[in-house]
Amino acid sequence: MAPQYFFELSGESKDMPPAEIAGCLRAEADQYEIVAEGPGYLIASFDSQFFLGVAERLAMTHSCGRYLGAYDPDDLSGLENAELPPGTFAIRAKRYKGMMKDVDSQGLIRRIGGVLSVHNDVNLKEPDTVVRLQMCDRAHVYIEEHVTETDLLEKRKVGERPFFSPISLHPKYARALINLTGVKRGGTVLDPFCGTGGIVIEAAEMGLKAMASDFDEEMVIGCRENMDFYGLALHDFDVLDIGDIGDRFHDVDAICTDPPYGRSTKTGGEEIAEIYRRAGDAFPRSLKPGCRAGVVLPFAMEFPTMELEGMSLQRVHGSLSRHYHVFRALERARMFNKERA
């Protein structure tokens, strides 16, 4: 039986963190099962050899690791069978959004520690293993095996780049967008509205083959400047209108893009709605059949040329929400676009 892993989700979006985990599992694991979801967590079962590949991709998970089980605060039966790695341990607890208010967290920590210390010694300052306790619908216990490096993501945010636009996606969301498509390790990722390069920066950092295009030559030049700044390489790039990407980029594994939507964005005088329509026609011509496009739009939208598989919402501020769509390319849509071209 494959082990189970607990993922502590970040709270910026209700839908995106679990969808990102599912995308990473699809990309990295041969087989997996989503065992349970609850307030602030997801539990999945898959072979341990895929754990690091999944964990190191994630942007919207605080920490994750091998799951030891869920317990009622007054009944820890079964926990005595849990096995920790050799060495010392310490327990770190978190109460999710004030849940389990009637439970004494320190008392629960002491009782869990008492059970686990039968086979391992406690070291509160420098433990060999950190055991996490998440208090929400139940008391979930897991071994912390990976923590998302948020500091590195912050170092790649918009204001840290030599060439930037204030409307660019934060690296956390750019990486999550890529993961939503389930693109496999070593695959090609195209951003046909590359702007300052935030998405292709994350793609290259993840070991994917990053490709960029934009109708604005200044953006393509700035994107390349930013890639150089981080010591990253573009697999391919060009200055292109969105309608021409299918003639230039072929059999792409994923399209991940944040098309223009603000009043201050350069569009060459074209209406935003028309840009979106033409993008929907163009995407399947570049994608491999069955592969996906992750597209950020200011409202929910469907393309007649592609299948909408899912959508996650990010509320930015009162007048702006971002909708992270995942579309899948179909063979018939690909042929439809070739006939129209």
Dihedrals phi, psi of 292, to nearest 5 degrees: -120, 155
pLDDT of residue 195: 94
Of the candidates 256, 251, 217, 254, which has an alpha carbon nearest to the alpha carbon of residue 237? 217
pLDDT of residue 329: 93
What secondary structure letter does DSSP report for 66?
A: E
Of the candidates 60, 84, 76, 51, which has an alpha carbon nearest to the alpha carbon of residue 9? 60
Q: Region 31-37: what's the mean pLDDT?
A: 98
What secondary structure letter does DSSP report for 147?
A: E
CATH number of 155-340, picked from 3.40.50.740, 3.40.50.150, 3.90.1210.10, 1.20.1730.10: 3.40.50.150
Amino acid letter at 160? E
| Total-model pTM | 0.93
pLDDT of residue 319: 74
Confidence of residue 237 (pLDDT cuts 50, 70, 90): very high
* Region 4-147: CATH code: 3.30.2130.30
Contact 127, 90 (CB under 8 A): yes
Domain residue extents for the chain: 4-147, 155-340
For 33-37, 320-324, 326-330, which range has the lowest pLDDT when averaged over its residues? 320-324
Q: Region 74-93: what's the mean pLDDT?
A: 96
